[in-house]
Chains A and B, each alone.
Chain A
Amino acid sequence: MSGNAIEVVGLVKHFGKVKAVDGLNLSVETGQVTGFLGPNGAGKTTTIRVLLGLLKANAGQASVLGGNPWTDAVSLHKRLVYVPGDVALWPNLTGGQIIDVLARLSGGITKERKQEMLERFQLDPTKKARTYSKGNRQKVALVAAMASRAELLVLDEPTSGLDPLMEGEFQKCIKQVKAEGRSVLLSSHIFSEVESLADSICIIRDGKTIEQGTLASMRHLTRTQVRTDLESGAEKLRDLAGIHDLAVDGQHVSFSVEQADLPTVLNALAELHPLALSANPPSLEEIFLSHYHTDVAKSQGVQK
């Protein structure tokens, strides 16, 4: 298999008759961050549990750090760390104790690293886990994971419940992880987080991969949103090839345009002497939503 940290091809996992994952492809290149996106119930957590050897796949291939996640679970787990999205803790132990337990089972962390992460994430390690808020429970798992030097970080919505300051700290940590050449699988619903961290993005729906690639390559396939203010001549744009969804409201004009048609359209626009102009490449959110909506439309079309 390739040298990718994670490589999944045609993964299938069903629970009884329910197909949670149905032909999913996913790869995480070594030293890179892959964003893992999909609506709730799309099969992200199931895929991650398969990658951790907690669930046994029904079909397809999966390799983690070059090994089989099911048969080589123990040796692989020494090289990776996992942060669940809904962190469950032992209510009677303190946060500090739990971090040590998880870290020790994984292969150990140094006191300095633990202390550094506790300070960065501002977690009080002396409180019993039952007294922690959701964000603080999340921090316990994050501190244990971030303090380690594991080759691969498997993160399932790791920042759910974190405040914006901690979210920023988390992004700094991941950038450091990347700088150290380690790999990250990041499942998240926070588009800004994925946009700023991920080298590659995998979008899934109903257990299938819809698209995987870099953000730039995805943008190629999606239209750029242009907003401009024109004193006159807005109607001339209507006949121009490559312009879609034109909306004129007095001076304010907005439309979308295919990446390929952008030079021609901008030339034509320049001749109209725009007062103001902004052109935004599609955000990840828009890409995600466009996939979501086309899929809904497709499935409704099939039903008819």
Chain B
Amino acid sequence: MSTAATLEAPATKSQRDSLSNLGVLLGFTWKRNWVRSVVWLVIVVGMFVFIFDYYKALFTDESQLASFISTVDSPSLLAMVGIISNPISVVGATWCKFWMFGSLMLGIGVLFLMTRNLRGDEDQGRAELIRSTPLGIHSRLASSVILMSVLSIVIGILTGVALAALTSDPNNLQHLVNVSSVAAATQGSMVFGMSIAAMGLLGVGIGALTNEISPSSGAANGIGMAIFGVLYIIRMIGDVQSNAATWVSPIGWGQKMDPYGADRWWPFIMIVILAAILVWVAWMIQSSRDLGDSIAPQRKGKAGASALLTRVWGLGMRLQRGSFIAWIVCLVIFPMVLGSVIKAIRDMISGTTMAGLANMADTLDGVLGMIFIPMLALVVGIFAAQSATSLRTDEAHGVLESQLATGVGRVSWALQRLAVTFVAIVVFLLITGVCLGASYGALVSDMSRLPVVIGSFFAYLPACCLLASIFVLGFGWWPRYAVSVTWIVVVALWAFMIVGLALRIPTWLLDLMPFNATPAVPAVPMNWTPIIILSLIAAAFTVVGLIGFRRRNVPA
């Protein structure tokens, strides 16, 4: 047999070796991920327990629960948090408050961890090093799939066990879980927990696939997030219109496990099968692709740079081009969907007299100003933070040195790159405002509100800039921690907005958060004071950050 024939031998021949040294790699993968895994576990399980405990103390009788549920059982919140399982109970309130947020957080977290271990290692050339050892071709994928699946299931079981323990009071079953027996409460709790685990497993499947098909770790995370976004929107359409669209999205399958109600296990099985299929597809792609390669073909590029690219700001735009496109797609789709939901809300308000709606969402301006506009503005804020952190990406990848060794000054470099971020924030707020305003205007056949909606988005410009400036401050003085601190702040703001008072944070402190401090126009009258203060803080953070950047070592 010639050498060539040996090389072309079918993959099946070496299949039994394709997982060699999996055990060693499992240990290694665990070592690299255990801190992050434990943090996710504590956050997800802890938050469910915490919120349950808070609502148990807050709602002492059923009338309070009923009033709470009627408040949140509006189409706008249905769109955000999904179908509420077992509404009139403390667990129902907990589900309503945190299931969608917490379980998707787990799914996306799992996706990120998968990328860190898989495509991230390939990008950095580490995969090459470990693959040069007697390691099977699929061992890396398998070790991440196994570890992340175990993490998801352990989080699900622990949440289930914790809820079962919290709801095991036979005298208070009706109030806590609205079921007739402790056994039913325990079973429901386990279904609840495993519905969270299911979203983690969905992240395993999506992560396995996107890591195989993407050319880089950034793309793997981006495509994965986009898939989650699409699945979220599909279930949103289904939930709001109470139709089968919910069943099209695997996120809907998780909701339809319906703990303490139907207690369905088969949607969980469906998600496991789906995840297994996605992993199998990833496995097949991995069998045939080159290490470091993707299914997208490599193309030749230009032999020279355009005049635009040779400016610092032009380069900044080019480096973020892919990310800009992805954000614009999101910022067109999300407001369009939300705008169309407004009609359902209007119909509901005109058709019924729900007590809870009087609280905040009694007018369309209320829905816009209190819920939709701040939510979408925060999405732009997340972009602002992500775009600003690209400064650190350049430094961490070693390309900042090459730029600063040329005739460009540090402050000039940073300001040009931040100018790109600022202009993008303005454009994105405009796009989001136009899309929400237009889709809403088209539905109510009244385009006169369009300028008001657009103007309302621009009230959040200082808050968005503040998020970017928090990064700049850190970049100047504590560059190694700047990116993580920025993301912690962003996640905290998101959590405050969604979970809010349930975290037992005093109202006055919540009101100080940039997105809460911004006047919720058009629901409330415009107030310039917070706008000016937020702008000044953002400017001060930027200036102080740049002063630090001028004085510090590069790379640091």
Q: Which residues of A contact B (CB under 8 A)?
A: 49, 52-56, 73-75, 77-78, 80-82, 84, 86-94, 96-107, 111, 114, 125-128, 130-131, 141, 154
Q: How many cross-chain pairs have Cβ atoms below 8 Å apart between A and B?
A: 119
Q: Which residues from chain B contact A80 at a C-beta distance below 8 Å?
A: 405
Majority-rule SS of A interface residues? mixed
**Minimum C-beta distance from A81 to chain B (A):** 8
Q: Kindly identify which residue among A92, A94, A154 contacts B319, using a CB–CB cutoff of 8 Å.
A: A92
Residue with the highest number of chain B CB atoms closer than 10 Å, among A49, A87, A88, A114? A88
**How many angstroms between the C-alpha atoms of A114 and B303 in the bound complex?**
11
> Quick check: B555 and A54 within 8 Å, CB to CB?
yes
Q: Which residues from chain A contact B315 at a C-beta distance below 8 Å?
A: 101
**How many angstroms between the C-alpha atoms of A93 and B315 in the bound complex?**
10
Q: Which residues of B contact A (CB under 8 A)?
A: 123, 216, 298-305, 309-312, 315, 318-319, 322, 397-399, 401-410, 412, 551-555
Contacts A88-B397, A88-B399, A90-B399 given; indicate if A125 touches B303 (C-beta within 8 A): yes
**Minimum C-beta distance from A67 to chain B (A):** 13
Q: Which residues from chain B contact A49 at a C-beta distance below 8 Å?
A: 401, 553-554
Q: Kindly identify which residue among B304, B311, B318, B407 contacts A74, using a CB–CB cutoff of 8 Å.
A: B407
> Quick check: B309 and A101 within 8 Å, CB to CB?
yes
**How many angstroms between the C-alpha atoms of A141 and B403 in the bound complex?**
12
Q: Which residues from chain A contact B298 at a C-beta distance below 8 Å?
A: 128, 131
24 A-B interface contacts by CB (under 8 A): A52-B401, A53-B404, A54-B554, A77-B405, A81-B405, A82-B402, A88-B397, A88-B398, A88-B401, A90-B319, A90-B397, A93-B301, A93-B305, A93-B309, A96-B301, A96-B302, A96-B304, A100-B305, A101-B309, A101-B315, A102-B406, A105-B406, A106-B407, A128-B299
Q: Which residues from chain A contact B299 at a C-beta distance below 8 Å?
A: 128
Contacts A74-B408, A126-B300 given; indicate if A105 touches B554 (C-beta within 8 A): no
**Minimum C-beta distance from A140 to chain B (A):** 10
Contacts A96-B303, A104-B310, A105-B310 given; indicate if A54 touches B407 (C-beta within 8 A): no
**Minimum C-beta distance from B342 to chain A (A):** 39
CB-nearest residue of chain B to A129: B301
> Quick check: A54 and B305 within 8 Å, CB to CB?
no
> Quick check: B551 and A56 within 8 Å, CB to CB?
yes
Q: Which residues from chain A contact B304 at a C-beta distance below 8 Å?
A: 96-97, 99-100, 111, 114, 125
> Quick check: A89 and B302 within 8 Å, CB to CB?
no
Q: Kindly identify which residue among B123, B301, B402, B405 contacts A97, using a CB–CB cutoff of 8 Å.
A: B301
Q: Which residues from chain A contact B402 at a C-beta distance below 8 Å?
A: 82, 84, 87-88, 102, 141
> Quick check: B405 and A107 within 8 Å, CB to CB?
no
**How many angstroms between the C-alpha atoms of A206 and B301 in the bound complex?**
44
**How many angstroms between the C-alpha atoms of A84 and B405 in the bound complex?**
10
CB-nearest residue of chain A to B405: A82
Q: Kindly identify which residue among B216, B305, B322, B398 contacts A104, using a CB–CB cutoff of 8 Å.
A: B305
**How many angstroms between the C-alpha atoms of A275 and B407 in the bound complex?**
62
CB-nearest residue of chain B to A77: B407
> Quick check: B301 and A94 within 8 Å, CB to CB?
yes
**How many angstroms between the C-alpha atoms of A36 and B400 in the bound complex?**
24
**Minimum C-beta distance from A132 to chain B (A):** 12
> Quick check: A84 and B409 within 8 Å, CB to CB?
no
Q: Kindly identify which residue among A82, A84, A97, A114 contacts B302, using a CB–CB cutoff of 8 Å.
A: A97
**Minimum C-beta distance from A178 to chain B (A):** 21
> Quick check: B551 and A78 within 8 Å, CB to CB?
no
New A-B pairs, 4, CB < 8 Å, besides A77-B404, A104-B311: A54-B554, A102-B403, A114-B304, A141-B402
Contacts A86-B398, A97-B309 given; indicate if A126 touches B303 (C-beta within 8 A): yes
Q: Kindly identify which residue among A55, A87, A96, A127 contacts B305, using a CB–CB cutoff of 8 Å.
A: A96
Contacts A82-B402, A97-B301, A100-B305 given; indicate if A55 touches B409 (C-beta within 8 A): no
Q: Which residues from chain A contact B322 at a C-beta distance below 8 Å?
A: 92
Q: Which residues from chain B contact A53 at a C-beta distance below 8 Å?
A: 404
Q: Which residues from chain A contact B301 at a C-beta distance below 8 Å?
A: 93-94, 96-97, 126-128
Q: Kindly identify which residue among A56, A88, A106 contacts B406, using a CB–CB cutoff of 8 Å.
A: A106
Q: Which residues from chain A contact B409 at a C-beta distance below 8 Å?
A: 73-74
**How many angstroms between the C-alpha atoms of A82 and B402 in the bound complex?**
7
**Minimum C-beta distance from B550 to chain A (A):** 10
> Quick check: B302 and A55 within 8 Å, CB to CB?
no
**Minimum C-beta distance from B293 to chain A (A):** 10
**Minimum C-beta distance from B553 to chain A (A):** 5
Q: Which residues from chain A contact B408 at a C-beta distance below 8 Å?
A: 74, 77, 105
Q: Which residues from chain B contact A82 at a C-beta distance below 8 Å?
A: 402, 405
CB-nearest residue of chain B to A46: B553
**Minimum C-beta distance from A101 to chain B (A):** 5
**Minimum C-beta distance from B303 to chain A (A):** 4
Q: Which residues from chain B contact A107 at a C-beta distance below 8 Å?
A: 406-407
CB-nearest residue of chain B to A104: B310
> Quick check: B405 and A101 within 8 Å, CB to CB?
no
Q: Kindly identify which residue among B309, B319, B552 contacts A100, using a CB–CB cutoff of 8 Å.
A: B309
> Quick check: A105 and B312 within 8 Å, CB to CB?
yes
Q: Which residues from chain B contact A101 at a C-beta distance below 8 Å?
A: 305, 309-310, 315
**Minimum C-beta distance from B494 to chain A (A):** 29
Q: Which residues from chain B contact A81 at a C-beta distance below 8 Å?
A: 405
**Minimum C-beta distance from B320 to chain A (A):** 11
**How many angstroms between the C-alpha atoms of A96 and B553 in the bound complex?**
29
Q: Which residues from chain B contact A106 at a C-beta distance below 8 Å?
A: 406-407
Q: Which residues from chain B contact A126 at a C-beta distance below 8 Å?
A: 300-303
Q: Kindly identify which residue among A55, A102, A111, A154 contacts B554, using a CB–CB cutoff of 8 Å.
A: A55
Q: Which residues from chain B contact A86 at a C-beta distance below 8 Å?
A: 398
**How many angstroms between the C-alpha atoms of A259 and B35 in the bound complex?**
64
**How many angstroms between the C-alpha atoms of A122 and B319 in the bound complex?**
27
**Minimum C-beta distance from B363 to chain A (A):** 47
CB-nearest residue of chain A to B311: A104
> Quick check: B303 and A89 within 8 Å, CB to CB?
no
> Quick check: A54 and B302 within 8 Å, CB to CB?
no
Q: Which residues from chain B contact A89 at a C-beta distance below 8 Å?
A: 399
Q: Which residues from chain A contact B553 at a C-beta distance below 8 Å?
A: 49, 54-56
> Quick check: A54 and B399 within 8 Å, CB to CB?
no
Contacts A100-B309, A101-B315, A125-B304 given; indicate if A73 touches B398 (C-beta within 8 A): no
**How many angstroms between the C-alpha atoms of A37 and B200 in the bound complex?**
54
Among all A-B residue pairs, the 8 with the closest Cβ atoms: A88-B398, A104-B310, A100-B305, A94-B301, A105-B406, A78-B407, A82-B405, A96-B303
Residue with the highest number of chain A CB atoms closer than 10 Å, among B299, B406, B409, B555? B406
Q: Kindly identify which residue among A91, A99, A105 contacts B216, using a CB–CB cutoff of 8 Å.
A: A91
CB-nearest residue of chain B to A88: B398
Residue with the highest number of chain A CB atoms closer than 10 Å, among B304, B315, B402, B409? B402
> Quick check: B401 and A54 within 8 Å, CB to CB?
yes
**How many angstroms between the C-alpha atoms of A128 and B292 in the bound complex?**
14
Q: Which residues from chain A contact B555 at a C-beta distance below 8 Å?
A: 54
**Minimum C-beta distance from B315 to chain A (A):** 6
Q: Which residues from chain A contact B398 at a C-beta distance below 8 Å?
A: 84, 86, 88
**How many angstroms between the C-alpha atoms of A87 and B399 in the bound complex?**
8
> Quick check: B318 and A94 within 8 Å, CB to CB?
no
**How many angstroms between the C-alpha atoms of A27 and B299 in the bound complex?**
46
Residue with the highest number of chain A CB atoms closer than 10 Å, among B302, B303, B403, B555? B303
CB-nearest residue of chain B to A108: B310
Q: Which residues from chain B contact A99 at a C-beta distance below 8 Å?
A: 304-305
CB-nearest residue of chain A to B397: A88
Q: Which residues from chain A contact B302 at a C-beta distance below 8 Å?
A: 94, 96-97, 126
**Minimum C-beta distance from B155 to chain A (A):** 34
CB-nearest residue of chain A to B301: A94
Contacts A101-B310, A131-B298 given; indicate if A52 touches B303 (C-beta within 8 A): no
**Minimum C-beta distance from B309 to chain A (A):** 6
CB-nearest residue of chain A to B410: A73
**How many angstroms between the C-alpha atoms of A55 and B409 in the bound complex?**
14
